[in-house]
Amino acid sequence: MNTIPNRRVFGQRLAAMAAAASLPAWAQPAGTYPQRPVELIVPFAAGGGTDVLARALAETMRRHFSQSVIVMNRAGASGAVGWQELAAAKPDGYKLAIITVEMTMIPHMGVTKITSDDVLPIARLNADPATIAVRADSPFKTVEEFLAAAKKSAGSVRIGNAGPGSLGHLAAAALEDKAGVQFSHLPYRGANPAVLDLLGGHIEAVAVTPVEVATYVAAGKIRPLAIMGDKRIQAGWEQVPTLKERGIDLVIGGWRGLAAPKHTPPEIIQQLRTVMARTLQEPELRATMAKQNMGEGYLDQPAFLEVIARDNATFKQLVNKLGIKA
């Protein structure tokens, strides 16, 4: 008696399966995501702070994600090379990227046309201030001595940064404006190459974030002179003053976040938001971030979008005021 209904139901299921199989990957039901490893683009060279965070994140995500996450470095143009790849990717959730505060800077400098509107931000992972750091054996013991040398001979003090339009570049340029000095800005393909050149004695300083020099500070090889935050930070940096403490009213910081291509299905984005909320609470990841002096600052998508809009307006005004062009 049940043969005909069963055959009908079976036939309907087969038809549904065939229809789903004929759809492109990005149109598959969100419940099937992910079915294969996911690529995570890091738009800077290996070894820098963004790379460190991405690899720790990918490792910890395994506890809340059914597939592995493969980190791919795509350095160049202060992050624009990697972000262009993300913007051009299929919106299927299988290619993600780390975005950084530079995305709100470099479009205004003419480095790229890629903006945060060309991708889909998911969550902010951390936030930290910019810092000026020198070698431990540098003659500059304080930020005042550092600025005095730059004022005495314009362009004689070379400061490395992660690339044209990077946080370090704008932070150092803003410091020039506030202190009335002139540096020689040297762009690199990421913070790590700049830090290595500092260690090699090829430049006098770097403008980066604490995580990008934390290992060398802990080893006694690099000395941070000041940070550009509202307050001092911890984890071995308690003695490093803010610029505001030294009479320079300048606060500039950065962030790192996760993004997907535009038009990625909302079900997949929601799943990734949930995974980020859980992953960023894992004690192991939090310990890694603290050890690297990487400021916490997780924000879910709505709040993250507000920060991006605010920073975009702030840095657009700063770039125009200082006349910074790539």
Give the pLDDT confidence of 168-179 residue by residue, as tens digits: 999 999 999 999
Tens digits of residue pLDDT in 257-284: 999 999 999 999 999 999 999 999 999 9
* Average model confidence (pLDDT) across the chain: 89
Query: Is the sign of the CA dihedral 9, 12, 14, 16 positive or negative?
Result: negative
In which residue ranges of the chain is CATH 3.40.190.150 found? 38-127+253-322
Residue 17: pLDDT band (50, 70, 90) is: very low
pLDDT on residue 292: 77
In which residue ranges of the chain is CATH 3.40.190.10 found? 131-246
Superfamily of domain 131-246: Periplasmic binding protein-like II (3.40.190.10)
b/e per residue 270-294 (b: at least 16 CB within 10 A): ebbbebbeebbebeebbebbeebbb
Which residues lie across from 69 on neighbouring strands? Answer: 38
pLDDT on residue 15: 45
- Architecture, CATH, for domain 38-127+253-322: 3-Layer(aba) Sandwich (3.40)
b/e per residue 2-28 (b: at least 16 CB within 10 A): eeeeeeeeeeeeeeeeeeeeeeeebeb
Residue 34: cis peptide before it, omega within 30 degrees of 0? yes
- pTM of this structure: 0.75
Q: What percent of the chain has pLDDT over 90?
A: 71
DSSP string for residues in 242-287: BTGGGT-----EEEEEEEEETT--HHHHHHHHHHHHHHTT-HHHHH
Q: What percent of the chain has pLDDT over 70?
A: 90
Contact in structure between 55 and 71 (CB atoms under 8 Å): yes
Q: Is the pLDDT of residue 18 over 80?
A: no
pLDDT on residue 2: 45
Residue 13: pLDDT band (50, 70, 90) is: very low
Q: Is the pLDDT of residue 21 over 80?
A: no
Roughly how many angstroms between the first and final C-alpha of the chain, as a whole number?
Answer: 77
C-alpha distances in angstroms, 77 versus 32, 213, 313? 35, 21, 21
**Identity of the residue numbered 31:** G
Contact in structure between 220 and 135 (CB atoms under 8 Å): no
Contact in structure between 177 and 137 (CB atoms under 8 Å): no
